[in-house]
Structure 1
Amino acid sequence: MFTIGDFARLGQVSVRMLRHYDAIGLLRPVEVDPSSGYRFYGAEQLRRLNRLVALKDLGFTLRQVGEILDDKVGADELRGMLRLRQGQLEAQIEADMARLAGVESRLRMIDLEDFPRTAEVTVKAIPAVRVAEVSALAAGYEGSAIGPVIQTLFPRLGEVVTAAGLEPDYPAIAYYTSAGNEVAVHAAVPVAADPDPAHGFDIVDLPAIECAATMLHHGPMDDIGASFQALARWIDHNGHRTLDFAREVYLECGEAMITELQVAITKGRGSPPESTSAG
């Protein structure tokens, strides 16, 4: 048998917790010395301790832990319960991490609100382009909703375009359209091809834009919201109105990523200058 200190060390818990488990009847010592009150534990009790700690760490209350252990749940059944709970916690962590990334992105937008942007806004016409595209729905325009969708679309687009024997012409393009309460995310790449029902993708002619406000975004997509908001402030400041159309054109990928933001606008006060600074 082991003293409470030795058993705590072997079970990797605190002495205080062992005393608490004893007090509430979750893990009684094998023997208590009547004269000294010292508690002694047996090695076979490590099995119960391991299950107790695992269940508690996975979010079960001590009352629930006691009921599970007292029902003498078998190892296979307990393992299944733990795997299920583990999956639930992993999904919760993933959701929390996505929310945290969203908060960090929003904080960066707020931090940049009071600092003028040095990037230039250029107003220009965008020619029509024929593209191969695949699309999927996202829950909203948040980065946490768009990101996972678009990250799967472009690899799939590359696979089906290659399988069709087509040679894509870069840069790649992403654009978004309303789909009720959701957002249709389109991943596209210019191609010289006609529509074919045998293709695992659509051939679409993106229309020309007579007047688009454009700006270059340098860096990762995590911060693209701040660039879009800077562009929006420029559009509003210059008296223009946006049309329901915006594109992201990926001019450079990798660490030195450069994305051109294109927003279709109607001309506001007078004729827009060819380029001005966004701020």
Structure 2
Amino acid sequence: MVSGPTVEGPCSPSETSPGLVGYRWMLRHYDNIGLLRPVAVDARSGYRYYTADQLRRLNRVIALKDLGLTLAQVQLVLDDVLDAAELRGLLRLRRAQLEAQLAADTTRLTRIEARLRAIDREGRMTTQDVVLKELPSLRVAELTAMAASYETADIGRAIRPLYPELLRRLAVAEVSLSGPSLAYYEPAGDGEKIVVHAGLEVAVSPDRARDFAVVDLPAVPAAATVIHRGPMDEVAGTLQLLAQWIEENGWRAEGYARELYVEYCADDPAAGVTELQQPVTRA
């Protein structure tokens, strides 16, 4: 022990000094939770006194907190409650947390840079926001048709008759809907032709006796999604925006975008609201 105890803070600042007030609050909190108790407390002033060894412990507290450990974890380390294996595990967990945080911040930085490029290119920030999210698995009743290509006009001609027919068949089978309609696509393996799937979410099991298919669409770990408002005949611009976002944010499109018809208005296509969902992987 040194010749005398050390006071909790310097005497020169006033008691209302923000730095000193914060310092005293910290030491008071450490005292309350048993992390660092003073050797003495002045009954009149409330000052706490510490030995040099205790200040070394305080420095260790500050250093461990700087690693991002909680005070409870710091106390376990300082009190030698953890053995070497447990200490390694604690620090590896903290490392994993920091790596995840760094990855998330790096992704945000990439998005900010993409927005800055868009502003430089267009003079403004787009009002259409692309959101990256997971897509749940879905069970849908569906009918399919062949489209000559992935061009909007060819897709429209192929898919429009499918929904009223599918609704008719579901009604005959007394199958109720459990969600909105959607469409998805896959190559036909014959030039530019595309297999068009018109689906309606249901909660029934597949049955070969029915005149429509019931299929389970798998969950998608990552999809870039954007809302398109208006008729699907005018979707090309929104698809282009989606493709641009995917490229500028370090992703790669996988297959074709799903179309989830949030609001389907057959009589007024301009009032339609569609979420485009493009599965993606890291480029």
TM range (shorter): 0.5 to 0.7
CA separation in 2, counterparts of 1:261 and 1:209?
13
CA separation in 2, counterparts of 1:141 and 1:114?
28
The answer for the alignment partner of 1:187 in structure 2 is 198
Does structure 2 retain, via aligned residues, the 8 Å contact 1:117–1:230? Answer: no
Q: 2:134 aligns with which of 125, 133, 152?
A: 125
The answer for the alignment partner of 1:239 in structure 2 is 250
- List gaps (5 residues or longer) in structure 1: 1-112, 269-279
Residue identity in the other structure for 1:218: R
Does structure 1 retain, via aligned residues, the 8 Å contact 2:153–2:233? Answer: no
Residue identity in the other structure for 2:273: I
Higher RCO by CA contacts (8 Å cutoff, separation 6 or greater): 1
CA separation in 2, counterparts of 1:218 and 1:125?
22
The answer for the alignment partner of 2:280 in structure 1 is 265
The answer for the alignment partner of 1:276 in structure 2 is none
CA separation in 2, counterparts of 1:195 and 1:176?
20
Runs of 4+ residues over 4 Å off in structure 1: 113-116
Residue identity in the other structure for 1:172: S
Residue identity in the other structure for 2:272: M
Q: 1:151 aligns with which of 133, 146, 160?
A: 160
2:242 matches 1:216: no
Q: Report the TM-score when normalising by structure 2.
A: 0.53
CA separation in 2, counterparts of 1:118 and 1:267?
25
CA separation in 1, counterparts of 2:255 and 2:243?
13
Q: CA RMSD in A?
A: 1.6
Does structure 1 retain, via aligned residues, the 8 Å contact 2:253–2:278? Answer: yes
CA separation in 2, counterparts of 1:143 and 1:231?
16
Does structure 1 retain, via aligned residues, the 8 Å contact 2:142–2:212? Answer: yes
Secondary structure of 2:140's counterpart equals strand
The answer for the alignment partner of 1:198 in structure 2 is 209
Shift of 1:253: 2.1
Q: Report the TM-score when normalising by structure 1.
A: 0.54
Secondary structure of 1:177's counterpart equals strand
CA separation in 1, counterparts of 2:261 and 2:122?
27
Alignment of 1:19-30 (within 5 A): none
CA separation in 2, counterparts of 1:184 and 1:265?
20
How many residue pairs get aligned? The number is 156
Secondary structure of 1:230's counterpart equals helix
Does structure 1 retain, via aligned residues, the 8 Å contact 2:156–2:233? Answer: no
CA separation in 1, counterparts of 2:152 and 2:159?
10
- 1:159-202 Cα offsets, whole Å, 9 max, x none, are 11111110012210001100022100000011111111111111
Does structure 2 retain, via aligned residues, the 8 Å contact 1:174–1:248? Answer: yes
Shift of 1:114: 5.7
Percent identity between the two aligned chains: 43
CA separation in 2, counterparts of 1:169 and 1:149?
24
